[in-house]
Amino acid sequence: TAVRSYLAVPLRTRSGRIIGGIYCAHAQPGRFSLHHERLVAGIAALAAIALDNARLFEGERRQRRLADNRAGELARSNAELEQFAYICSHDLQEPLRMISSFLGLLEERYREQLDERGRGFIARAVAGASRMQNLIRDILSFSRVSRGERAEERLELREALDEALSNLQPQLDAAHAIVEVGILPVVRGNRLQFLQLFQNLVGNALKFTDGRSPLIRIAAQREESGWRVTVADNGIGIAPEHHRRIFQVFQRLHGRERYEGTGIGLSLCEKIVLAHGGTIGVESQPGEGATFWFTLPDGESSGVMAAVQGTPLGDGIS
């Protein structure tokens, strides 16, 4: 049958690109009116939207698949790197202990036979070996948290803090530091990791000082979904542009000749807090001290446990 009437309406995407059309034909001349044209145009608009949405959905799904694949590859790569770091650090401990031991024997037995330059060489080697031991220790701690090596238990944060302060007692005494502790909550967590967390945060407060006796305040505040724990000091402070950088592994703001460290401590703190479902950050300005904070979800329905409080004694812990 010969076509005498013809109606064509394009399918346009939201951007105006033509991706097809709807075509109508009839043997009767003048069969299609303005009404037919408007009807087909409406159908074409709906069809174009549906096709455009399907195209966008397929593109988004493809991007998600690519992102998932990349995330999987990244996770595998990170796991391999962490495993490699763990194995290397673990295997390096024994030879490094041997090097340190022989350096100590060399310094002890042959010190008088060496000139000042030779003694200086040994001292630098001993210091280098000590830094390497500290680095290996921190890498192992970092790897353990990354590998998910943690056993959760009901934990009074005050107990973990007290153990950390006990470990740091020689440094606290040497610096004539005052530590004020408020009421701390009970949480679900790994005792050794929270011990490490407090030891790193308080250790930094002791390290980064401007000559004044350190004043360190540790407290917790109730929040809607859990707890916010703060460790505040009166040290040298941190410029705002470095507030995120300091949590990156191996990042240092100061040279080793001024402040010792491996650049892993705060990265380890972040790993520990994230592994326990919290977040961590810092509020600070140069010369105004720093307040490190971390959040934790509720660990006990009973809330906080009482903590020992008192008036500072000048030097030491209250």
How many angstroms separate the CA atoms of 85 and 262, rounded? 15
134 and 246: one domain? Answer: no
123 and 223: one domain? Answer: no
How many angstroms separate the CA atoms of 156 and 307, rounded? 9
What pLDDT digit, counting tens, does each position of 143-174 carry?
A: 666 555 556 788 899 999 999 999 889 889 99
299 and 265: one domain? Answer: yes
203 and 76: one domain? Answer: no
- Rounded (10°) angle between helices 34-110 and 116-146: 140
Domain stops at, among 98, 129, 149: 149
Indicate whether 315 pLDDT > 70. no
Of 262, 134, 275, the closest CA to residue 197 belongs to 275
Q: Which domain holds residue 252?
A: 153-317
**CATH number for the domain harbouring residue 261:** 3.30.565.10
Residue 294 bridge partners (DSSP)? 229, 280
Domain stops at, among 122, 149, 176: 149
Q: In the chain, pLDDT over 70 holds for what percent of residues? A: 77
Question: What does the block give as tokens for 153?
Answer: 């238990």
161 and 144: one domain? Answer: no
Q: What's the average model confidence in pLDDT over 164-187?
A: 91
pLDDT band at 17 (very low <50, low <70, confident <90, very high): confident
134 and 61: one domain? Answer: yes
Indicate whether 282 pLDDT > 90. yes
Residue 218 bridge partners (DSSP)? 181, 231
Q: In the chain, pLDDT over 90 holds for what percent of residues? A: 20
pLDDT band at 89 (very low <50, low <70, confident <90, very high): low
53 and 20: one domain? Answer: yes
3 and 144: one domain? Answer: yes
Classify residue 302 as exposed, middle or buried by CB count within 10 Å of its CB (0-12, 13-18, 19+): exposed
157 and 278: one domain? Answer: yes
pLDDT band at 316 (very low <50, low <70, confident <90, very high): very low
- Those residues with Cβ within 8 angstroms of residue 191's Cβ, 6 or more apart along the chain or in another chain: 153, 155, 159, 160
More confident residue, 164 or 261: 164
3-state secondary structure the chain: CCCCEEEEEEEECCCCCEEEEEEEEECCCCCCCHHHHHHHHHHHHHHHHHHHHHHHHHHHHHHHHHHHHHHHHHHHHHHHHHHHHHHHHHHHHHHHHHHHHHHHHHHHHHHHHCCHHHHHHHHHHHHHHHHHHHHHHHHHHHHHHHCCCCCCEEEEHHHHHHHHHHHCHHHHHHHCCEEEECCCEEEEECHHHHHHHHHHHHHHHHHCCCCCCCEEEEEEEEECCEEEEEEECCCCCCCHHHCCHHHCCCCCCCCCCCCCCCCCHHHHHHHHHHHCCCCEEEEECCCCCEEEEEEEECCCCCCECCCCCCCCCCCEEC
Instruction: Count up the domains in the chain and report the number.
Output: 2
N-to-C CA span, the chain? 101
Indicate whether 280 pLDDT > 90. yes
Tell me if 218 sits within 8 A of 231, measured CB to CB: yes
Domain stops at, among 121, 149, 177: 149
Question: What does the block give as tokens for 37?
Answer: 């044209």
How many angstroms separate the CA atoms of 91 and 236, rounded? 37
212 and 97: one domain? Answer: no
Indicate whether 229 pLDDT > 80. yes
236 and 162: one domain? Answer: yes
167 and 313: one domain? Answer: yes
Q: What's the average model confidence in pLDDT over 218-226?
A: 90
